[in-house]
Amino acid sequence: MTIATERAAIAPKAAEQPWGIGLLRRIIDHRSDYLYILPALLVMLVVIAYPVYYTIELSFFKTPPNLQMKDKIFVGFDNYAAILSSSSFHRVTINTLIWTVFSTGFAFLLGLAAALALHREFAGRGVLRAVLLIPYVVSAVAASYVWKWLYHSDFGVIGALAVQFGLTDRPINFLDNTTTVLPSLIVVNVWKEFSFAMVMLMAGLQTVPEQLLRAAQVDGASAWQRFWHVTFPHLRGVSMVTVLLLMVANFNSFIIPWIMTSGGPAGASDIWITDIYNIAFGRQRYGVASAYAVILFIVMMVLGYFYVKALTRGDEARAG
Amino acid sequence: MSTATQSSLPTTRKPIDWWRWAGRFTILLLLIFTVLPMLWMVLTSIKSQFAALQYPPQWWPAEPTLNNYWRLINPADSIGREFLRYFWNSFYVSLITTILGVVVAVPAAYAFSRFRFPGRTFLFFTVLVRNMFPAVVFLMPLFLLMRWMGLVNTHGSLILTYLTFGLPLSIWLLKGFFDNIPIQLEQAARIDGATRFQAFLLIVMPLSTPGIIATSIFSFIGAWNEYVYAYTFLSKQESMTLPVGIQRFFTEFATDWPGLMAATFLMSVPVVVLFLVLQKYFVRALTEGAVKH
């Protein structure tokens, strides 16, 4: 914090003159600065900016399946209309919302519980944190295959355990059943990502001032009251960022449903990205898939707005 | 970050601290939830095909065997040759991605941290917002672009993609580290006659090694685990990386679950080891930004 203020004093902001000749002058004055970001800028233009532009363009065209894009036909907003009015889009959207809300909610709650339990210093705390983080580090592909085996309809260990404990009389077919498939996949997703929330919230907990907690205790606040009135308000910023990052990741999920069920059975675990992938690379309808991607892109931009706001709030408070 | 000052509240005088027990219980449950799937993967991988496909299952392998592993790492075996090939491809792509990523991200992050050029804030937000885009948005046009550049089925397509997609986070992280290096150090070096570049190389770089390690682990693990682009860009068997290649084992030997579990285990070893060794940096990279900025 002190370093930041010192730096601000040394490098004061150039006179604010956002547009016109002033801007041009400032750009010329700073021309050598841009050399540093040039390589990054170049690859990002090619690999990020161009594809975004091209996706938006393609979303207004009917594209031939052979990828000869010079043969594409302009169709205006037809692709958008086709998606928004299709019944499968509604079904997939509901799946995606269930997937995202439950994955995010459970990952956050488990992460919060783990963070609170691991906050206190005790022997083996570091080891525990490391073990809990392993699922987050391993590839989603590996995780999907392992869980597919755990859920196996005949030899899966989960079904066998359920029988062992007398919960059912024969193994359950988790992944081939339209009602159990989505919850089963959500469990895998939560397994994979809850420790991300844990790490974020553990870092957040370190920012809670010790004196405040002690003062509350002296004043007779119970453990719950201390959590609710002191700890939790301090975690608000981190919680918001964590929930947003989890939501974005979950809206963009692909690997777990794709490898474990390919969206099946009967589309019961189809979510936005698996649907787009099928439309683009299965049915070769790039125009429609592009329009679909643009719709998601708008949803993400809304989330992105809140993300940047949550991230920069601290900065503004410091500057102001 | 003060890791030393942990909760040191005066211990409550109540006979049983229910909260503490609730915490222990929570940790136990989460530990079981986390570890059981991994344990079952390992137990399955040391069973024979016959032993794995039994009902009720053999909870503990009656005749543990390492055959599944030997077959995968034996270059004389056709399966082993294929697996080692994927392993090498993954390693190569991840390593090059990581090195190039650092080379490109360091100067950019330095500029964002030190200079006040016009467009800086705008550029920076685009860097951040990139993380919001669904991967598929880029998939189709990138596929066409790679085809146009003749990079389909080459590792170049993956390296270029991973490198670029890792940049926003790398730049953001490194900027945080550069921000914490007092500018006076550089100024002192400049007064002593160093050029800007020398000051950067001799003062800033050594001090930001933790940041560079943190971003490197992140890009390596990200590249190692990436599936969607590899799945779309690579169709030739000899260029495939592990996440894609492993699928071939699954379809070719459809019921060989022990073999598949051994393959997923071997595939996880490098990233888990890397993570365990450099855990501190990894966690820092994960939380930096969200908490501090």
Q: What CATH number should be reported for the domain holding residue B140? A: 1.10.3720.10
Q: What is the pLDDT of residues A300-314, one digit of tens each?
A: 888 878 877 777 665
Q: Which of B110, B112, B138 sits opposite A48 (nearest CB)?
A: B138
Quick one: B121 and B34 in the same domain?
no
| Assembly ipTM | 0.88
Residue B237, domain member (yes or no):
yes
Range of the domain at B267: 68-287
pLDDT for the residue numbered A301: 82
Confirm whether B3 is domain-assigned: no
Write out residues in chain A with pLDDT < 70, as ranges: 1-19, 67, 312-320
Cβ(B137)–Cβ(A52) below 8 Å: yes
Task: State residue A21's pLDDT score.
Answer: 74
The domain boundary residue, chosen from B32, B66, B100: B66
CB nearest B228 (choices: A10, A110, A254): A254
**Which segments of B57-182 does DSSP mark as H helices, in order?**
67-73, 78-114, 120-129, 135-148, 155-179
Clarify whether residues B57 and B74 are in a common domain: no
Residue B138 CA to residue B157 CA, distance in Å, equals 13
Query: Has residue B194 been placed in a domain?
Result: yes
Query: B150 and B277 share a domain?
Result: yes
B148 and B101: one domain?
A: yes
Token pair 């992944």: residue:
A175
Chain A residues with beta carbon closer than 8 angstroms to that of B290: 200, 203, 238, 241-242, 245, 311
CA dist A103 and A191 (Å) reads: 9
Name the average pLDDT for chain A. 85
Contact list in B for residue A193 (CB cut-off 8 A) is: none
A70 close to B (CB below 8 A): no
> CB-CB: which of B7, B180, B264 is closest to A120?
B7
Both tokens of B269, joined, read: 């070893």
Does any domain span residue B2?
A: no
SS3 B192: coil
Please count the residues of chain B: 293
Which residues make Cβ contacts (< 8 Å) with residue B255, sequence separation at least 6?
A: B49, B53
Residues B197 and B276 in one domain: yes
Q: Kindly state whether residue B293 falls inside one of the protein's structural domains.
A: no
Q: How far apart are CA A145 and CA A264, in angstroms?
A: 16
HEC string of B208-274 equals: CHHHHHHHHHHHHHHHHHCCHHHHHHCCCHHHCCHHHHHHHHHHHCCCCHHHHHHHHHHHHHHHHHH
Note whether B143 and B258 are same-domain residues. yes
Contacts of B164 in chain A (CB under 8 A): 43-44, 46-48
- Alpha carbon of A244: minimum distance to chain B alpha carbons (Å): 10
Distance linking the first and last C-alpha atoms of chain B? 13
Residue B6 is predicted with a pLDDT of 47
Q: Which token pair is A74? A: 């302009």
- Per-residue pLDDT tens listing for chain B (293 residues): 444 444 445 555 555 678 788 888 999 999 999 999 999 999 999 998 888 888 788 888 888 999 999 989 988 888 889 999 999 999 999 999 999 999 999 999 998 888 888 777 776 676 666 666 667 778 888 888 898 889 989 999 999 999 988 888 888 888 888 888 888 888 888 888 888 888 888 888 888 888 899 889 989 999 999 999 999 899 888 899 999 998 877 665 566 889 899 999 999 999 999 999 998 888 888 887 665 54
Measured CA angle at B209 (ends B206, B214), to 5 deg: 170
**Same domain membership, residue B222 and residue B101:** yes
Check residue A11 and give its pLDDT: 41
Q: Which two tokens stand for residue B91?
A: 């390693």
Cβ contacts (< 8 Å) between A14 and chain B: which residues?
116
- Which pLDDT score is estimated for A210? 85
Q: Is the domain of B208 the same as that of B283?
A: yes
Topology of the domain covering A97-142+181-283 = MetI-like fold (1.10.3720)
B268 to chain A: closest CA residue = A138
Q: Do A152 and B246 touch (CB under 8 A)?
A: no
Q: How many domains in chain B?
A: 2
